[in-house]
Amino acid sequence: MSPGAGVGFLISQLGYVISGRFKDLLAPLGLEPRQFLVLRHVAQAQGSSQQALGKALRIPPSRMVSIVDSLERRGLVERRANPTDRRARALHLTPEGRRMLARTFKVAVEHERAICADLSPAEREMLVGMLRRLTLARQLVPGVHPALTSEEAAAS
């Protein structure tokens, strides 16, 4: 079989373009994909420490610092004091952060719509089903894009 025709190559090639396109869609909001990833997880687990978040997302502590820095500078996230541990910072979404997250979801929905524009709803569902079977077989963490996280810790 000619390379470029297989499922593997197609998915890999498409994935690169799709994530690049999402990055472009996020750019007008002043958000990078990694910032979006962290913002979303802060919303899901308010009050988490930076390293707890970093562990879940496989982002090393030193990188988390600058990501949270940028989110805080933009007023989307707050570093509050943790009442029980003065070393840790409790991360919280600000109202502005919540609004931003809502905007990103709209972007994501539009992105998805554009990608699947040529597919019927039934086809789309079938596609999702097959892709999901492929992901399950590969032990991926749902909702966490490995390109934005660290290579290591895969052995854990």
Partner DNA sequence: TATACATCGTTTCAGTATGTAACTATTCGC
Partner DNA sequence: GCGAATAGTTACATACTGAAACGATGTATA
Site for DNA in 31-60 (CB under 7 A): 49-52, 54, 59-60
Nearer to a copy of itself, 40 or 79 (CB): 40
58 binds a copy of itself (CB under 8 A): no
115 binds a copy of itself (CB under 8 A): yes
Return the residue of 36, 38, 89, 100 that touches DNA, per CB under 7 A: 89
Return the residue of 31, 68, 77, 100 that touches DNA, per CB under 7 A: 68
Return the residue of 11, 65, 109, 114 that touches DNA, per CB under 7 A: 65
Integer-rounded Cα radius of gyration of the chain: 18
What's the per-residue H, E or C state across the chain?
CCCCCCHHHHHHHHHHHHHHHHHHHHHHHCCCHHHHHHHHHHHHCCCCCHHHHHHHHCCCHHHHHHHHHHHHHCCCEEEEECCCCCCCEEEEECHHHHHHHHHHHHHHHHHHHHHCCCCCHHHHHHHHHHHHHHHHCCCCCCCCCHHHCCCCCCCC
Binding site for a copy of itself (CB under 8 A): 1-22, 40, 105, 108-109, 111-112, 114-119, 123-124, 126-128, 130-140, 142-147
Binding site for DNA (CB under 7 A): 49-52, 54, 59-65, 68-69, 79, 84-89, 150-152
